[in-house]
Amino acid sequence: MQLLVLKYIGAHGIHSQAAIAERLLVDAPAVSRLVDRLEEDGLVARRAGENRRCVRLEITDAGRKECQALERAAEWVDAQARTYLAPPELEELSRLLDKLQTGLCQLLGTEPAAAPRKDDPSCAPATSNDNG
């Protein structure tokens, strides 16, 4: 779960704990504990948001390196899948996984996660001079 949180912050630009909780289908305290661990490991930093109720999550350089390693691992798994599955089989696998996700979301009474947004209305980004 920590890697998913890191990916949402680093790769998808989601900076609020509430938005992450919604995507992971967990409660806010669970996300807070996950972010606590990521912060202790130096992968994420909490920054002040536009108001006192909002905390903006920022990925650190160490967190970016972890995201890159995760991306490389996912690319490796995809390459291995292409080695053992023909293109029609890969399409079928993707279709079945989408179907499973939809069914599980219906069971939980939620919608499948939409494509991540660069902006998150629940916590407007603070102005910063992020150098990378």
Q: What is the dihedral of CA 27, 36, 45, 117, to 10 degrees?
A: -20
pTM, two decimal places: 0.65
For the chain, the structural domain boundaries read 2-84
Q: Taking CA 8 as the corner, what is the angle to CA 3 and CA 10, rounded to the nearest 5 degrees? A: 90
Tokens, residue 84: 């053992």
Print pLDDT tens along the chain (132 aa). Answer: 888 899 889 888 888 888 898 888 888 899 999 999 999 999 999 988 777 777 889 999 999 999 999 899 999 999 999 999 999 999 999 999 999 988 887 777 665 555 443 343 333 333 334 434
DSSP of 52-75, one letter per residue?
A: TT-EEEEE-HHHHHHHHHHHHHHH
> What CA–CA distance (Å, rounded) separates 21 from 99?
22
> What CA–CA distance (Å, rounded) separates 76 from 103?
28
CATH topology of domain 2-84: Arc Repressor Mutant, subunit A (1.10.10)
